Amino acid sequence: MNSQKKKHMTLSGFPLKNSYTPEDLSGFEYEKNLGNPGEYPFTRGIRQEMYRDSLWVMGQYSGFASAEEANKRFRYLIEQGQTGFSIALDLPTQVGLDSDDEMAEGEVGKVGVAIDSLEDIEQLFEGIDLEKVRQIRTTANANSIMMLGLYVAYAKKKGIDPNKIGFFLQNDSLKEYICRGTYIFPPDVAVKLSADVIEYCANHLPNWTPIAVSGYHIREAGATAAEEIAFTMANMMAYFDSAQQRGVDVDQAARNIYFFLNSKPDFLEEVAKFRAARRAYAKIMSERYGCEDKETKSLKIFVFTSGASLTAEQPLNNIVRVTIETMAAVAGGVQTISTSSFDEAYAIPTEEAVKVALRTQQIIAYESGITETVDFMGGSYALEKLTDEIEKDIFNILAEIDKNNGAVDCIEKGYFQRKLADNAYQYQKSIDEKERIVVGSNMFRDEREPEIPIFELSNDTEEQQRVKLEKLRENRDNIKVERALNRIKQAATDGENLGDPMIEAIEAYATLGEITRVLKDVYGVYKPLKIY
Amino acid sequence: MKVLIAKPGLDGHDRGAKVIARAFEEAGAEVIYTGIQSSIDDIVDIVEKEQVDVVGISILSGAHNTLMPKIMEKIKEREIEDVVFILGGIIPQKDIPRLKELGVDEVFGPGTPLDECVEYAFGQVMAIKAEKVVEDMSQGKRGKTLNF
């Protein structure tokens, strides 16, 4: 490689030295900076025994087409040894449109499964023993309170205690405005609804994960490692400040929360990032919220390997990228991992590609040996220096966000959006100019067309859902639905927690689209900024 | 030179759209970006009203086979001509011939350098304008100055 062009820095731009020595760590104190695994500030990990005691949850992100189709894929993955799963929802579901809505045309069942009502959830979970699955995640954000309603209503109908199922809600609607895009209502309403879920879980479903505050998408959209963590922290503070104002005890409500983070191929930087995130989090929970419970100060991390790091060119190379990213997550001591499939730059993964992704985790877990010793890279001069640098940067960015009046104001002013757009553009330039190398893409290209099997979706999901909805609206008790929808409207108008009225409406088989329409009447909709 | 970058449908993956919008701007074009979740009618309205030279559409959700025919149909209905259509996103190879039949000039997948995209679009616009000049001259009209 042309060494004049190569800049020595991490993916996020931290300058790197050729070697590090004790001099780089002046003032370093073991107890203060690291602590033993399972001890404050949890830099080395949140558990003493870590993976010896229990491996991370291996839960792939999947779901497409109809609930019946998605159910088949879930069962297949459980048979293959997956210990958790994540329900990918299609876009209409995520933005609260029924499958027969005009705006939903062409999108039904495409990037996830279509969920219109409780009926779809019943089909989705058919034949799966939910109490045996360690973790069930979803991508509901703007409508997370509806997802809560669906789960509770389902469990009640099946006679299971919902608190005994490992439900894990994403429920982070603020990052939708920053980058992910499935917002519905204005940002201040988003905070209210996310806080509703947090409050409801604290009171009724203490075992659930009420929120997975997400830096993943922020990083995918262009953030640096430190921005990924800092923006996530800022969003978390918006939710928990709001919950605290209502009298929710953060020490209890935040016990099971997660950060949903990215893992990119820059191995050292990612390991340092996970460690810095835990240390910064422990400080914030104890200093800002006065938390005393050790569990609440321990940051649980769910990692999804970076989809944006995958290339369409030479797709099998992606297996190697995912391996590096997964190893970084394991070296960084995370609790849940979802690995990307090598064919994701083409379509929804094939069964074979998903299996390789799961096997990648299993090989690291059972063959690599890196699970035996907790934080085995801890004490490396380079790693400790970078961990310090990232943490410092996190707090600097947080101070800037604070100066701008917190996450909601920053979203409304476009602060985050502008940063991400700038970074993304600069990154692309550096790829085009070969300042950064992506193997097989801007170097070592192979002009032959890749030949891999591509997953094909059946195209009739939209029609199936349409028919299903028509029947549903005919067969349910529409007076009961109307009453339940009115109750939601009243509760929303009065600023009450929407948990209970939501469950009632879903039990009456109101559709997500109907519920969303009622809420839009009360709250209005978000008009996005068009920053590029 | 006017460029519209549009995101129809519900897809929120807008990193590519924003980056390409910026690339066109840096190359000297006037850029209009619709933001995500823009309706097909809004997109076609902008193309017509603003008389854009290039329309770049970005779709990563797999909805291109539904959305593109609708957009191109409305463009034809309104007799909008001489506009370069480029499409970016996750578009399977096998869908490309049909999209081109509909009037999409080129499809750019992940990994395409920005310059390649911009140069292609500018080249097509130049060709269209040059053709116009020749046409005007052959009809005895005075050649208009190329307007960029």
Which amino acid belongs to residue A327? M
Whole-Å CA distances, A503 to A145, A158, A197:
9, 14, 12
CA distance A17 to chain B (A): 30
* B22, B67, B113 member nearest A425 (Cβ): B22
Residue A449: list chain B partners with CB under 8 A: 93
CA-nearest residue to A437 within chain B is B111
CA distance B12 to chain A (A): 5
Residue B144: its pLDDT value, please? 54
Give contacts of A 323-352 with B, CB under 8 A.
345-348
Residue A457: list chain B partners with CB under 8 A: 62
Contact B67 A347 (CB under 8 A): no
B148 occurs within a structural domain: no
What is the Cα–Cα distance from B139 to A497, expressed in whole angstroms? 72
Contact A182 B21 (CB under 8 A): no
pLDDT tens per residue, range A1-43: 444 456 799 999 999 999 999 999 999 999 999 999 999 999 9
Closest CA to A336 of A46, A60, A36, A77: A60
* B14, B35, B61 member nearest A110 (Cβ): B61
Please give the torsion angle defined by the CA atoms of residues A329, A331, A333 and A334, in that order, rounded to the nearest 10 degrees.
Answer: 10
Give contacts of A 289-328 with B, CB under 8 A.
308, 311-313
What is the Cα–Cα distance from A272 to A393, expressed in whole angstroms? 12
Question: For the domain that residue B79 is a member of, what is the CATH number?
Answer: 3.40.50.280
pLDDT tens per residue, range A243-283: 999 999 999 999 999 999 999 999 999 999 999 999 999 99
Contact A107 B109 (CB under 8 A): no
φ/ψ (deg, to 5) at A394? -55, -50
Q: Are A136 and A166 in contact (CB under 8 A)?
A: yes
What is the Cα–Cα distance from A117 to A465, expressed in whole angstroms? 10
What is the Cα–Cα distance from A57 to A42, expressed in whole angstroms? 20
φ/ψ (deg, to 5) at A393? -65, -40
Chain B interface includes A448 (CB < 8 A): no
Question: Residue B2 belongs to what H/E stretch?
Answer: strand B2-6
Residue A454: list chain B partners with CB under 8 A: 92
Residue A5: its pLDDT value, please? 58
* B19, B35, B67 member nearest A528 (Cβ): B35
CA-nearest residue to B93 within chain A is A346
Q: Is B4 helix (H, G, I), strand (E, B) or coil?
A: strand
- Compute how many other C-beta atoms are within 10 angstroms of the C-beta atom of residue B93: 12
Sign of CA dihedral A198, A199, A201, A202: positive
Chain B interface includes A507 (CB < 8 A): no
CA-nearest residue to B20 within chain A is A425
B42 occurs within a structural domain: yes
SS (H, E, C) B23-67: HHHHCCCEEEECCCCECHHHHHHHHHHHCCCEEEEEECCCCHHHH
Contact A106 B9 (CB under 8 A): yes
Q: Are A190 and A173 in contact (CB under 8 A)?
A: yes
Confidence of residue B139 (pLDDT cuts 50, 70, 90): confident
- Give the structural domain span for B7: 2-138
Residue B143: its pLDDT value, please? 53
**Does residue A304 surpass a pLDDT of 60?**
yes
Residue A431: list chain B partners with CB under 8 A: 113
* B22, B31, B61 member nearest A107 (Cβ): B61
Structure tokens at B74: 């409305």
Contact B67 A106 (CB under 8 A): yes
- CB under 8 A, 24+ apart: contacts of A19-28: A19/A381, A19/A382, A20/A380, A20/A381, A20/A382, A20/A385, A21/A381, A22/A381, A24/A381, A24/A384, A24/A385, A25/A381, A25/A384, A25/A385, A25/A388, A28/A384
CA-nearest residue to B32 within chain A is A530
Contact B111 A441 (CB under 8 A): yes
Chain B interface includes A430 (CB < 8 A): no
Counting the structural domains of chain B, the total is 1
Q: Are A259 and A301 in contact (CB under 8 A)?
A: yes
Domains along chain A with CATH numbers? 54-432 (3.20.20.240)
φ/ψ (deg, to 5) at A14? -70, 125
- Compute how many other C-beta atoms are within 10 angstroms of the C-beta atom of residue A140: 26
Contact A312 B110 (CB under 8 A): yes
CA triplet A49, A55, A60: central angle to 5 degrees? 150
B146 occurs within a structural domain: no
Structure tokens at B27: 């190359």
CA-nearest residue to B11 within chain A is A91
Chain B interface includes A44 (CB < 8 A): no
pLDDT tens per residue, range A450-490: 678 888 777 789 999 999 999 999 999 999 999 999 999 99
Confidence of residue A85 (pLDDT cuts 50, 70, 90): confident
Closest CA to A387 of A259, A268, A258: A268
* Alpha-carbon A403 to chain mean position: 27
Q: Are A78 and A126 in contact (CB under 8 A)?
A: no
CA distance A440 to chain B (A): 10
pLDDT tens per residue, range A102-118: 999 999 998 899 999 99
pLDDT tens per residue, range A393-451: 999 999 999 999 999 999 999 999 999 999 999 999 999 999 999 999 999 998 876 67
- The reply to whether the predicted model has a pTM over 0.90 is yes
Structure tokens at A266: 């820059």
What is the Cα–Cα distance from A184 to A187, expressed in whole angstroms? 9
φ/ψ (deg, to 5) at B119? -65, -40
Confidence of residue A369 (pLDDT cuts 50, 70, 90): very high
* B12, B19, B115 member nearest A182 (Cβ): B12
Q: Are B74 and B40 in contact (CB under 8 A)?
A: yes
Chain B interface includes A25 (CB < 8 A): no
φ/ψ (deg, to 5) at A30? -55, -50
Chain B interface includes A36 (CB < 8 A): no
